[in-house]
A and B are shown apart, each in its own frame.
Chain A
Amino acid sequence: MSDLIELEEPAEPSNSSREEIRRISDNARARRIAISRVMVALCGVALLIAAVPLVALLYQLINKGVGQLNLDFFTKLPETPTLIAPNATGGISNAIVGTIALTLYASILAIPVGVLVGVYLAETDSKFATTLRVIAQTMAGAPSILMGLFAFSFVVHDLNIGFTAIAGSFALAVLMLPVIIISTEIAVRNVPNSLREAGLALGAKPHKVSTKVVLPSAVTGIVTGVILAISRAVGETAPVLLVIGGGFTNSWQPFNPVSAMPLAIFENAKSEWPSQRAQVWGIALVLVAFVFVLSLTARIWASRKQQVRN
């Protein structure tokens, strides 16, 4: 106990240096407060600039869209206006049915594969997994028209299935896959390792730990990712443009040509009839409502996830 360090008596600072320290720190504080106010003001201005286009878009959408909505709009098939009846545009029921059918088949194709691949990527560390991850990340950033081209050359042409709903669903599924894979991987990786260890320490085999412990804990994150992928697919025009054939009936059949809301917007916007061009806003409004409901659902799921964590 002899090697205790001897402490020196601390020297007291003089009164004059104390005053100087106080004066300098007071000045520095005043300067920081001024800078902070300027920054807050700048942020406010930036917020306004960002809000203007968003609010203007929503205003125009609702202003021009609401007038188009009525029962016929949702239930009738489209009609082509004539000189005698220039406002006879009919409804968009085929496009609504088509969009739901396309999204449904795309989800059936993409969700099981995407979730399984995501779990695989999260739970293994092989070279193959790394390669797969890089591919998924690249695909997530690929332009969506590419999926349309791929579906056109592979499903429509090579498999000779023709312009059908399933070809469009295939294109959308390829689009959704990377989103589902990446969000599943993140959700599974976010499951604390302590839970895996707890499962293993109870004598569970690794696959039991995956299915009984890890997946249930990650499910909210996975569902959130899946819903976001669906809401992205719902609004995509490019992948379906080339391959679904634009059917004019309410068809749920996977091997029939179908229409879709983004496609109806694309076609009507090119119309020579002002009534059909006006109808575009109604379709856009319905489409945005679809996506809004889906994102809202995803947000509610995500907040449930927060609660589980807490």
Chain B
Amino acid sequence: MERETEIMTEIQAQPTTTITPALRGPVAMQLRDVAVSFHGRTAVRDCSFDVVKNRVTSLIGPSGSGKTTLLRALNRLHDLTPGAKVSGQILLEGTDIYRGNLTVTELRTRVGMVFQRPNPFPTMSIYDNAVSGLRFNGIKKKSLLDEAAESSLRSAALWDSVSSRLKVAASNLSGGEQQRLCIARALALEPEVLLMDEPTSALDPVATLRIEELMTSLKSRVTVVIVTHNMQQAARISDDCAFLLMGEDRAGELIEFDTTEKIFNNPVDSRTLDYTLGRFG
């Protein structure tokens, strides 16, 4: 009994299990003590882990644990939020994305984002949506755009169903198709990392399955970081997994980071086990 207590204290003495040696492979992004606050109130803190290349990293945790807040820090989407402050270090290929020699627009072409609700540009056609990122960045040559449109729509498993109606407004697509168009739009810029913020939470199970298959197939060319509420989804599709939880001061913090297999089968922290078993959250 005494020995068990001792082990518990030892675990709590180092609450944030950081980069585990089990994770091998080249690193796409590194997070070092990342914290995000709004008007001085911390929303998420103590996040240190490596996003390994060509793997899917999932961020899981109950509502309010700061998953989305953390994800949005990775391509500086907090920049325009008044009062938002990101501290710590986020490195992309070794360059600090907040202080390094990297403009915010370049960062966002290298780190793409897919949002919770499908948000294709409603005034643009399917084709215009697919190449919108390239056009925003000054590419006008039609041959380049045509090529990028086809390859990105193919990568998003959308080409076969839309190739005959590329000039149709994107709002005519179904919810699942719109979300795949948003993925295509992000892929057209050939990003190194693709951030996905609960990309299937607004979709039905069939559309969800197709997006999940897509993510697995995209792994070879892009590193994926996904926020999900759905633990089965995290278990199905992710290779690595970060578990976040809201602390006593209502700020989210990283509890544990490891391979998905370890997080779900043999976690170090008892709270991770409780969450993955569905005891709370």
Binding site for B on A (CB under 8 A): 125, 192, 194-195, 197-206, 208-209, 212-213, 216-217, 219, 308
Contact yes or no, A194 B117, CB < 8 A: yes
Query: Which 6 A-B pairs rank lowest in CB-CB distance, beginning with the nearest?
Result: A204-B136, A202-B133, A203-B109, A201-B113, A216-B123, A203-B108
Contact yes or no, A197 B136, CB < 8 A: no
Contacts of A203 in B (CB 8 A): 105-109, 133, 136-137, 189
Contacts of B75 in A (CB 8 A): 201
Contact yes or no, A202 B132, CB < 8 A: yes
Contact yes or no, B108 A202, CB < 8 A: yes
Chain B, residues 108-130, CB within 8 Å of chain A (1/0): the string is 11001101010111111000000
Contacts of B77 in A (CB 8 A): 197, 200-201
Q: A201-B108, A203-B189 are in contact. Are A217 and B123 (CB under 8 A)?
A: yes
Give the CA-CA distance A55 to B182 in the complex, in Å.
Answer: 52
Contact yes or no, A198 B115, CB < 8 A: yes
Contacts of B136 in A (CB 8 A): 199, 202-205, 208-209, 212
Chain B, residues 188-201, CB within 8 Å of chain A (1/0): the string is 01000000000000
Tell me, rounded to whole Å, the shortest Cβ–Cβ distance linking B103 to chain A. Answer: 9
B185 interface residue, CB < 8 Å from A? yes
Tell me, rounded to whole Å, the shortest Cβ–Cβ distance linking A49 to chain B. Answer: 43
Contacts of B133 in A (CB 8 A): 202-204
Tell me, rounded to whole Å, the shortest Cβ–Cβ distance linking A218 to chain B. Answer: 9
Instruction: Output the nearest chain B residue to A192 by Cβ-Cβ distance.
Output: B119
Contact yes or no, A205 B119, CB < 8 A: no
Give the CA-CA distance A194 to B178 in the complex, in Å.
Answer: 14
Contacts of B109 in A (CB 8 A): 202-203
Contact yes or no, A202 B182, CB < 8 A: no
Give the CA-CA distance A194 to B120 in the complex, in Å.
Answer: 9
Tell me how many residues of B have a C-beta within 8 Å of chain A. Answer: 29
Contact yes or no, A201 B112, CB < 8 A: yes
B80 interface residue, CB < 8 Å from A? yes
Contact yes or no, B117 A202, CB < 8 A: no
B17 interface residue, CB < 8 Å from A? no
Q: List 12 A-B contacts (CB under 8 A).
A: A125-B82, A194-B115, A195-B119, A199-B132, A201-B75, A201-B112, A204-B133, A209-B136, A213-B121, A217-B121, A308-B123, A308-B171
Instruction: Output the nearest chain B residue to A196 by Cβ-Cβ distance.
Output: B80
Contacts of B186 in A (CB 8 A): 201-202
Tell me, rounded to whole Å, the shortest Cβ–Cβ distance linking B167 to chain A. Answer: 16
Tell me, rounded to whole Å, the shortest Cβ–Cβ distance linking B175 to chain A. Answer: 14
Contact of A195 (CB < 8 Å), options: B112, B121, B137: B121
Contact of A204 (CB < 8 Å), options: B105, B112, B171: B105
B135 interface residue, CB < 8 Å from A? yes
Contact of A198 (CB < 8 Å), options: B80, B106, B123, B182: B182
Instruction: Output the nearest chain A residue to B109 by Cβ-Cβ distance.
Output: A203
Contact yes or no, A197 B189, CB < 8 A: no
Give the CA-CA distance A202 to B185 in the complex, in Å.
Answer: 8
Give the CA-CA distance A219 to B75 in the complex, in Å.
Answer: 30
Instruction: Output the nearest chain A residue to B75 by Cβ-Cβ distance.
Output: A201
Give the CA-CA distance A208 to B139 in the complex, in Å.
Answer: 13
Q: A203-B108, A203-B109, A203-B137 are in contact. Are A194 and B121 (CB under 8 A)?
A: no
Contacts of A208 in B (CB 8 A): 136
Give the CA-CA distance A195 to B132 in the complex, in Å.
Answer: 12
Give the CA-CA distance A212 to B136 in the complex, in Å.
Answer: 8
Contacts of B122 in A (CB 8 A): 195, 217, 308
Contacts of A205 in B (CB 8 A): 105, 136
Contact yes or no, B123 A194, CB < 8 A: no
Contact of B119 (CB < 8 Å), options: A125, A198, A206: A198
Give the CA-CA distance A150 to B22 in the complex, in Å.
Answer: 78
Which residues of chain B from 65 to 111 have any CB-CB distance to chain A below 8 Å in the complex? 75, 77, 80, 82, 105-109
Contact yes or no, B121 A198, CB < 8 A: yes
Contacts of B171 in A (CB 8 A): 308
Give the CA-CA distance A203 to B110 in the complex, in Å.
Answer: 9
Tell me, rounded to whole Å, the shortest Cβ–Cβ distance linking B178 to chain A. Answer: 11
